[in-house]
Amino acid sequence: MIKIELETGGSVWQVLIKPGDRVEAGDTLFILEVMKMEVLYEAPVAGEVAAVHIAEGDSVEEGQLAAEVSD
């Protein structure tokens, strides 16, 4: 299980995945808005989305668990 943690705090602008989705390495999983800039988070590995711990509109913090992908 690969845990995807946030590298910075901000606001969740768009979540592009849900549990059960198949993703390829490099697919965009979600987008944060950080100081008026969009920060894309990509899948580090191919696999199935096991869990999503954030939702659009959430305020999030650095180090927070955002999603899990089973490889």
Q: Provide mean pLDDT across the span 27-50.
A: 97
- Cα–Cα distances in angstroms (integers) from residue 14 to residues 1, 4, 10, 71, in the given order: 23, 16, 12, 23
Q: How much is the pLDDT for 71?
A: 83
In one-letter notation, the amino acid at residue 62 is: E
pTM greater than 0.75 (yes/no): yes
Q: By the 8 A CB rule, do 19 and 67 touch?
A: no
11 falls in which pLDDT band (50, 70, 90)? Answer: very high
In one-letter notation, the amino acid at residue 11 is: S
Helices (H), 1-71: none
Residues in CB range of 24: below 8 A, 6 or more apart: 43, 46
Q: Provide mean pLDDT across the span 11-23.
A: 98
Domains defined for the chain, CATH in brackets: 2-70 (2.40.50.100)
